[in-house]
Structure 1
Amino acid sequence: MKRLLCAGASVSALLLATPALAKNQQGDQAEILALLRAQASEIAALRARLEAVENKAPAAAPVMAASTPSAAPQRVAPASTVGHDSETVSFAPQIIPPSPAEQTVAQARAAAMNPSGVTTEWRGGLPIFHSADGKYTFKMRGRIINHVSSTFGSKYDARNITTTGARALRIGIEGAIGTHFFYQFENDFADNVSDVGTMFVGWRNDVGQISYDVRFGNMFNDRSFEGSSGSDAPPFLERNVVATSIIPQRGFYGIALMPRIFWKSGHASITLSGDNVDASQAVSDSRTVLARAHWNPLKTDRSMVHLGLWGFDEKLANGPGALTRNTVIGGRFNSLLRVSTGTLTGGTGTTGYGAEVGGYAGPLWVMGEAGERHARLSGGRDDLLTKAWSVSGGWFLTGDLPPYNPRLGTFAQPRVLRPVFDGGPGAIELLTRYENLDFSGVPTAGKGSAVTAGVNWYLDSVIRMQFNLIHWNTENRAGAFTGKDSGETVSGGIGVTF
């Protein structure tokens, strides 16, 4: 624009000078006209450049408008695609993005970017709410899992029964304040009993390429592969015997302090816990120290190798110290079908440990785990020794990848490629498992094993139907069903996780 004004001034000066030139140079008008033509050409060129610049301005206007209060909210890409967990998209596109309480700092920061007014995004069946300033995130969560089970073939008629039950009836909340603070709470109403499940507050941060979080509250154990997977995650209707028998006496939950660290190919955690949130306050809590780590030495966008180690030591509180165990072997909802230790009291503590190895390649997966538990008895008696192992595998006929979470080293909620509600077949999975459980060290210790064949149909990432056929064997030395026994259990279930 400045050059254009200078050019105009030059033309004016020339026009004023024309009479003098004509008078002094007598007929030199041809030279003057040539100069005028050159100046006119330069003016035209400058005008064309100015118009070109002005024509670009409207294209930039929407960018400016997006930052005004009246503009529609603009959301960035899902949080799982950025930050340290960029590998979640590259290496685990088969699971749903993490919820507010499981995000990394980078994911939480990305979710809060570019908010304009209260924003809502739908993920995993329920909306996630973000405040206008991006500081607060909130989500309801829930789980409905119902089973039906029928047992036949036992030599004891009392065991041949058909039952129904709710594996989980949960409702809860979770959220975050800023990028670092998060919380979660769930209550379970299964078996017509109100029971506090997960309940914690936590803090997360990054240090270079390492991320970490620290949580405190009533938390689910990080112990074994299937034992660390929520009730809606394992592919079978019930977890394997490693998860259900190589376990602290207090069970799956406990009020605990749990720091965790995460790196690109694995994670590690350590837990210091007392009793669960509903335990008695009349005596001191038991004390449990538990640690687990997993590593993915091979990780591509369609394959994974999983290795894991874990262990715990538990000191039981003063009191009766009951160590009696009745472990599921042929389905959860036949309480008469168990592998039993017989009645044991006078326990002082337990120590357990185990290993995990498995992985997947495309739609095929395999997982094996084994563990051992020593339950210490008072009065100089021998320990109750528990040994358990399991091998399982599956194949997705529809080509979906197994729902493996590389961040936590567990099964997870799947992201179905072609949901039924979008006109697709959903995800169909065939699976099988062998598991073996052996109690020993006391006269009343029993043992058992089971072979399971099953099929899962994931209608979408929220709803799934499951069918298991189990052939089981038990050999109990105490209770109403002693000696060798075998039979079959058919179980079916439908689960909704949101």
Structure 2
Amino acid sequence: MKFVPVGCALFALVAATPALAQAPSDDDLAALVRAQAAEIASLKARLDKLEAREAPAAAPVLAAAAPSSPPAAPASPGGRLPRAVAVTTPYAPQIVPPGPAERDIGRAQEANTAGVTTEWGAGLPVFHSADGNFTFKPRGRILADVSSTFGSRYDDRNLTITGMRALRMGVEGGVGTHFFYQFETDFSENEVDIVTAFIGWRDRIAPGLDYDVRAGHLFNDRAFEGSTGSDSTPFLERGTVSTAIIPQRGFYGIGIMPRLFWKTGHASLTVTGDRVDGNQTTSDSRTVLARAHWNPVKTDRGVLHLGLWGFDEHLSDAATTLTRNTVIGGRFNGALRVSSGTLTGGTGTTGYGAELGGYVGPLWIMAEAGQRHARLDNDRPDFVSKAWSVSGGWFVTGDLPPYNPRLGSFGQPTVLSPIFDGGPGAIELTARYESLDYTDILTGGQGWAATIGANWYLNSFTRIQLNAIHWNTDNRAGAFVGSDNGQTVSTRIGVTF
């Protein structure tokens, strides 16, 4: 095959002999040379293509060594390659591998041939396989806070502090229409902490009636703000009902949570042990928690929300300390707490609460109240904690509150005019009053806080928050005994992917 261009050239010269015998002009000779050169170049290009196609069969070692070739895809359980990856190599083997731009184009063409699609949602891509069977999405959360406290009669409480409320990375995805999973790790406060980590199954029982079951490290479904993620709360910190009327193990536990959803509400039941830890020398505590919410009124511009929840916790022999030090004026001032004083000998806790609120257009309001009974050994009476709060907000820009009617909590807002599209974003003004009472025991304190705030949502996943808090504490134990009050100003920049 390598002699084809030469043969063609000789044939062309023979064919041109009669013309030469007639003594052609210089112009005729120049035109003939140009035509022959063009034909030879065309034939050589065709020959190069044929040689490139035949190279894998003739040189298998070279083909295996080509760095641009993707690895073989694993077989599916049925022995067939998954549809999304059963593609031929887009490059012919080469001694010199393609440059970065060529590789990127080739891989994009391969993904396009496989039918893999990508959509951009809240800042990060969501990947879908061609047959729709597989989905995958990275997750992230960055919440950076600055807090300054002043006015306290104790100098050690007047602090200015910076902190990362959340610094999370994770993934979520699904297989088919039923199986799903999620995993997140938090790196705030310079520590690695496993937060949400579960697998789940979802299905439909009947039209308008769905369920899912999740198993793993689960976030509590408890109270309105307690069920709202830290990246979605309208204030920098959850209210006292969510932070004080809580199982001793905290917001997370390893276990199972079935949930039922209908058109106007949902219900959940959770059974868990302790949160993720490295202690395998004693039995875990056991917690059973249930919550339900109902929207008796639900329109495109308004919702009425009713909610009830409760939990019962049996403490293990290694978790008998019930001491509480609860935030009242912001998360990052460790000296600003309402304290129960040292309390040991706990055997279990039982808590319950109620929620009432909703929204009409850009206005929302929510009231919550709850109690927790901590059971003590040696026939001592229960330690009873009480908390309540009333909060509300107004979207000046006319956006709707980010209420999630499926879960009965707040989520990420849908901003009508993001600043990245030339709009003002969404601007929300907020206010809250909250109260906490630990005075059921002699060493227990009490406190309250009034907060006004402003939230500026640049788009649906980026926000700037400002809270001004006037607080009051009256502790009976600890370093800051007696009545005290002051102010805390806090701000946050948050991004949720």
Question: TM-score under structure 2 normalisation?
Answer: 0.77
Matched-pair contact (CA < 8 Å) for 1:196–1:278? no
Question: Deviation at 1:443?
Answer: 1.1
Matched-pair contact (CA < 8 Å) for 1:119–1:131? yes
* 1:324-343 matched pairs, under 5 angstroms: 324-343=323-342
Of 155, 163, 185, which aligns to 2:153? 155
For the residues of structure 1 that align with 2:215 and 2:158, how far apart are their CA atoms?
Answer: 44
Moved over 4 A (4+): none
* 1:226-237 matched pairs, under 5 angstroms: 226-237=225-236
Partner of 1:491 in structure 2?
490
Partner of 1:299 in structure 2?
298
**Cα deviations by residue, 1:112-146 (Å, 9 ceiling, x for unpaired):** xxx97000011111100001221100000010000
The answer to whether residue 372 in structure 2 is matched with residue 373 in structure 1 is yes
**Cα deviations by residue, 1:322-356 (Å, 9 ceiling, x for unpaired):** 10110000000100000000111110000000000
Question: Deviation at 1:440?
Answer: 2.8
Of 89, 112, 115, which aligns to 1:117? 115
Amino acid in structure 2 at the alignment position of 1:347: G
The answer to whether residue 218 in structure 2 is matched with residue 224 in structure 1 is no
Partner of 1:401 in structure 2?
400
SS of the equivalent of 2:297 reads coil
For the residues of structure 2 that align with 1:281 and 1:162, how far apart are their CA atoms?
Answer: 39
Partner of 2:136 in structure 1?
138
Of 198, 201, 207, which aligns to 2:199? 201
Partner of 2:383 in structure 1?
384
For the residues of structure 1 that align with 2:206 and 2:379, how far apart are their CA atoms?
Answer: 51
For the residues of structure 2 that align with 1:384 and 1:463, how far apart are their CA atoms?
Answer: 41
Amino acid in structure 1 at the alignment position of 2:142: I
The answer to whether residue 267 in structure 2 is matched with residue 268 in structure 1 is yes
For the residues of structure 2 that align with 1:294 and 1:175, how far apart are their CA atoms?
Answer: 27
For the residues of structure 1 that align with 2:192 and 2:162, how far apart are their CA atoms?
Answer: 19
Partner of 2:289 in structure 1?
290
Partner of 2:320 in structure 1?
321
Amino acid in structure 1 at the alignment position of 2:263: K
Partner of 2:414 in structure 1?
415
Of 178, 182, 185, which aligns to 2:183? 185
For the residues of structure 1 that align with 2:233 and 2:380, how far apart are their CA atoms?
Answer: 37
SS of the equivalent of 2:283 reads coil
Partner of 2:173 in structure 1?
175
* 1:3-18 matched pairs, under 5 angstroms: none
Amino acid in structure 1 at the alignment position of 2:363: L
For the residues of structure 2 that align with 1:281 and 1:123, how far apart are their CA atoms?
Answer: 41
For the residues of structure 2 that align with 1:494 and 1:320, how far apart are their CA atoms?
Answer: 36
**Cα deviations by residue, 1:440-460 (Å, 9 ceiling, x for unpaired):** 332110000000000000000
For the residues of structure 2 that align with 1:187 and 1:319, how far apart are their CA atoms?
Answer: 26
What is the aligned length?
A: 385
For the residues of structure 1 that align with 2:370 and 2:319, how far apart are their CA atoms?
Answer: 26
Partner of 1:45 in structure 2?
none
SS of the equivalent of 1:242 reads helix
SS of the equivalent of 2:438 reads strand
For the residues of structure 2 that align with 1:442 and 1:385, how far apart are their CA atoms?
Answer: 8
For the residues of structure 1 that align with 2:236 and 2:279, how far apart are their CA atoms?
Answer: 31
Amino acid in structure 2 at the alignment position of 1:437: L
For the residues of structure 2 that align with 1:414 and 1:303, how far apart are their CA atoms?
Answer: 15
SS of the equivalent of 2:417 reads coil
Matched-pair contact (CA < 8 Å) for 2:228–2:411? yes
Matched-pair contact (CA < 8 Å) for 1:382–1:442? no
Moved more, 343-352 or 319-328: 319-328
Partner of 1:432 in structure 2?
431
For the residues of structure 1 that align with 2:288 and 2:181, how far apart are their CA atoms?
Answer: 23
Amino acid in structure 1 at the alignment position of 2:352: Y
Could you say which structure has the greater relative contact order, defined with CA pairs below 8 angstroms and 6 or more residues apart?
1
Question: Deviation at 1:248?
Answer: 0.1
Matched-pair contact (CA < 8 Å) for 2:272–2:286? yes
SS of the equivalent of 2:365 reads strand
Partner of 1:50 in structure 2?
none
Amino acid in structure 2 at the alignment position of 1:307: L
For the residues of structure 1 that align with 2:167 and 2:259, how far apart are their CA atoms?
Answer: 28
SS of the equivalent of 2:298 reads coil
SS of the equivalent of 2:459 reads coil
Matched-pair contact (CA < 8 Å) for 1:295–1:306? yes
Question: Deviation at 1:407?
Answer: 0.2
| Unmatched runs of 5 consecutive residues or more in structure 1 | 1-68, 70-114
Partner of 2:468 in structure 1?
469
Question: Deviation at 1:190?
Answer: 0.6
Partner of 1:355 in structure 2?
354
* 1:448-467 matched pairs, under 5 angstroms: 448-467=447-466
For the residues of structure 1 that align with 2:289 and 2:469, how far apart are their CA atoms?
Answer: 32
Partner of 2:212 in structure 1?
213
SS of the equivalent of 2:348 reads strand
Question: Deviation at 1:319?
Answer: 2.9
Amino acid in structure 2 at the alignment position of 1:359: G
Question: Deviation at 1:384?
Answer: 1.3
Question: Deviation at 1:279?
Answer: 5.1
For the residues of structure 2 that align with 1:405 and 1:269, how far apart are their CA atoms?
Answer: 15
Amino acid in structure 2 at the alignment position of 1:127: P
Taking a change above 3 Å as real, the CA distance of residues 116 and 263 of structure 1, as seen in their structure-2 partners, is farther
SS of the equivalent of 1:440 reads coil
Partner of 1:345 in structure 2?
344
Matched-pair contact (CA < 8 Å) for 1:261–1:268? yes
For the residues of structure 2 that align with 1:424 and 1:127, how far apart are their CA atoms?
Answer: 24
Amino acid in structure 1 at the alignment position of 2:187: F
**Cα deviations by residue, 1:391-421 (Å, 9 ceiling, x for unpaired):** 0000000000000000000010111110001
For the residues of structure 2 that align with 1:133 and 1:345, how far apart are their CA atoms?
Answer: 57
C-alpha RMSD over aligned residues: 1.1
Moved more, 270-279 or 427-436: 270-279
Amino acid in structure 1 at the alignment position of 2:256: L
For the residues of structure 2 that align with 1:319 and 1:134, how far apart are their CA atoms?
Answer: 47
SS of the equivalent of 1:244 reads helix
SS of the equivalent of 2:479 reads coil
Amino acid in structure 2 at the alignment position of 1:350: T
Amino acid in structure 2 at the alignment position of 1:382: P
For the residues of structure 2 that align with 1:233 and 1:416, how far apart are their CA atoms?
Answer: 14
% same residue: 69
Matched-pair contact (CA < 8 Å) for 1:382–1:441? no
Question: Deviation at 1:320?
Answer: 5.2
For the residues of structure 2 that align with 1:161 and 1:338, how far apart are their CA atoms?
Answer: 13
